[in-house]
Structure 1
Amino acid sequence: MRVIGAERYHDRHPFHHRLHGGACSMTQVRAWVINRYYYQSRIPMKDAAFLSRCADPDLRRAWRSRIEDHDGGVDAGGGIRRWLVLAEAVGLDPDYVASTRGVLPATRFAVDAYVAFVREKPMLEAVAASLTELFAPKIHTERIAGLLQHYTFANEATLAYFRQRLNEAPKDVRFGLNYVLDHADTLEKQDAAAAALIFKTDVLWSQLDALHAAYVTPAAIPPGGWDGSEAVTMDDEPMRRPAE
C-alpha cells in the first residue's frame, strides 16, 4: 500500500509542484480552490453512503466522526466551512464556490465515481480507498509551507483546513489501515484492497490533470468550467509575495 502511495499519490503531480512552489497565478489558485471544494463537499456524502450499508455498529461508531470532521456542527466548524474561508481569502465569493458552478466536468466525473465506488464496492475495498490519507500529512505540510512563503492570502486562519487535517487524519489512518490489515486475509482480498487504493490515487490525479489542462497547458477551459473571472472579489497583485 505504501509503495502505491510513493508511486501514485498526487503530491508528484506537476500542478502541485507549481502550487507549492509559488508558480501558480491567482487564476490557477482559484481554479484549484473551486474544484477541490467539490471533492471536499462530497467526502461526507461518500462517508454517509458507506454508513448507510454498514451493519456493524462498532464500525459505524468509528466511521461517523469523518462526517463530523467535514460537516462540523449546525452553527460552526468543519472542514467544508474552513475551505470556504480559504475561498474567500483567495478572492472568491464563497457562495459561488459552495454552489459548485464552474467545477470542471472531469472533476465532477472523478469525484462522483469515487462516491459511487464507496457506495457499491465491498466494505474492504471502500475502506482501502480511503487510505490515501496515509500520504496526506506530507502534502499538507508542504502545502502550508509553500503557500505561506509565496502568497499573501496564506495565514493561520486561511490555512486552518490543512492544519486541522494534520490532527484528524492520523486517527482515520490508524483505523482504516488496521481494518484493511485485519480483513484482507487472502491474496485475492489483498489484491482488491491494493486496486482500490490505486483507483483512489487515480481519482486525485485526474482532478489535477483536469486543472492543468484547463488553466495551465493548453489552457483550454471546457464548457461549464469557471472562466477565470466570475465571482472574483479582489485584485490579484497584492496576493502574491515578491520573489526573494
Structure 2
Amino acid sequence: MSDAWSAEEFTARLRELRTRYWDSHPFHLRMHAGTLTKDELRSWAANRWYYQRCIPRKDAAILANCPDPDVRRVWRERIVWHDGTKPGEGGAENWLRMAEALGLSRDEVLDERHVLPGVRFAVDAYVTFARTRPWVEAVASGLTEMFSHGLMSRRLADMRARYPWIAEEGFAYFTARLAVVSGEGRSTLDLVVRNCPTRERQEAAVAALAFKCDVLRAILDTVDYYSGTRP
C-alpha cells in the first residue's frame, strides 16, 4: 500500500480541486455580470432551494454514521444553522426570504414545483452519498467550504450592484453565511486531515470532494440548460 501523504501534501491535493468549483460556471459568470433576467434568477433560487433544504439531511446522515461524540457535538450546529431553533429562523428561512425578494411566492418554492429533474437527481445523489459512505468522506465532500468565501463575497457585492431591484432583506442568507463559512472551512479541513491517516482514506476524501464539485456543477448545468423557461 502506498505511503500516506503528509498533511501538507494531502491539503494541497484537496485544494487542487479549486478549479472544479462552480464559481467559474457560465451561469454564475452571467449572474455576476448582471445579465440574468428576473426569470433566470427566480429559476436559480427555486432550484437552489432544493439543495438548501437537503443540506441538513446530509448533515444528519453524517451524525448518524459518526461514532465520535466530539465530532457529533460540533457537527450538529450545522443543522441548527440551517433549520434554526424555531420556525422563522435559520439559513433555510433566509433563502426563502431571498426567493420572495426575487418575486417568488413562499408556497411555490416550498412545494418545489419549479425544481428540475436534473437538480433533484444531483442533490438526492449527494444525500445518498452522505448516508452510504463513511462519515469522514461525507465530511470531506463538504470541503467546498474552502472555496466558497470569495465567491459569496463577490456575489453579494455584484448582486447588490447589478440587481438593485432586489430588496436588502433578500441578501440575509449571504450576509449570515459569510460570518461562518470561512471558519467552517478551516475546521472541516482540520477534521478531515486528522481522520484520514492512510493513503486510502486520503484518496477517498479527495474523490469525495471531487464528487461534490460535480454535484454543484450539475445543478447549474441543469438550471443553465433550462435558463429562462421556468418559473
The normalised TM-score by structure 1 is: 0.86
Q: Take 1:153 and 1:2, find their aligned partners in 2: how far apart are those partners? A: 36
Q: Take 1:20 and 1:98, find their aligned partners in 2: how far apart are those partners? A: 26
Per-residue deviation, 1:153: 3.4
Match of 1:52 in 2: 64
For residues 1-244 of structure 1, what are the structure 2 equivalents within 5 Å?
Answer: 1-5=14-18, 7-215=19-227, 227-228=230-231
Per-residue deviation, 1:132: 0.3
SS in 2 for 1:158: helix
Q: Which amino acid aligns with 2:15?
A: R
Per-residue deviation, 1:155: 4.6
Query: Which deviates further from its counterpart, 174-183 or 56-65?
Result: 174-183
SS in 1 for 2:85: coil
Q: Which amino acid aligns with 1:161?
A: Y
Report the structure, 1 or 2, having the larger helix content. 2
Going from structure 1 to structure 2, the CA distance change for 1:52 and 1:153 (only over 3 Å counts) comes to: farther
1:188-211, Cα deviation, whole Å (9 max, x unpaired): 211111100000000000000001
Q: Take 1:70 and 1:164, find their aligned partners in 2: how far apart are those partners? A: 11
Q: Which amino acid aligns with 1:3?
A: E
Q: CA RMSD in A?
A: 1.3
Moved over 6 A (4+): none
1:161-187, Cα deviation, whole Å (9 max, x unpaired): 011111121232222101111122222
Give the count of matched residue pairs. Answer: 218
Stretches of structure 1 that go unaligned for 5 or more consecutive residues are: 222-226, 229-244
Going from structure 1 to structure 2, the CA distance change for 1:175 and 1:80 (only over 3 Å counts) comes to: same
Give identity over the alignment, percent: 45
Q: Which amino acid aligns with 2:111?
A: S
Q: Bigger relative contact order, structure 1 or 2, given CA contacts below 8 A and separation 6+? A: 2
Match of 1:235 in 2: none
SS in 2 for 1:135: helix
Q: Take 2:187 and 2:73, find their aligned partners in 1: how far apart are those partners? A: 12
CA contact (8 A) 2:101 2:167 kept: no
Q: Which amino acid aligns with 1:11?
A: D
Query: Which deviates further from its counterpart, 185-194 or 195-204?
Result: 185-194
Stretches of structure 2 that go unaligned for 5 or more consecutive residues are: 1-13
Per-residue deviation, 1:98: 1.3
CA contact (8 A) 2:96 2:106 kept: yes
Q: Take 2:102 and 2:47, find their aligned partners in 1: how far apart are those partners? A: 14
Going from structure 1 to structure 2, the CA distance change for 1:128 and 1:161 (only over 3 Å counts) comes to: same
Query: Which deviates further from its counterpart, 156-165 or 59-68?
Result: 156-165
SS in 2 for 1:157: helix
Q: Take 1:190 and 1:52, find their aligned partners in 2: how far apart are those partners? A: 22
Q: Take 2:211 and 2:190, find their aligned partners in 1: how far apart are those partners? A: 20
Q: Which amino acid aligns with 1:2?
A: R
Q: Which amino acid aligns with 2:129?
A: F
Q: Take 1:71 and 1:201, find their aligned partners in 2: how far apart are those partners? A: 24
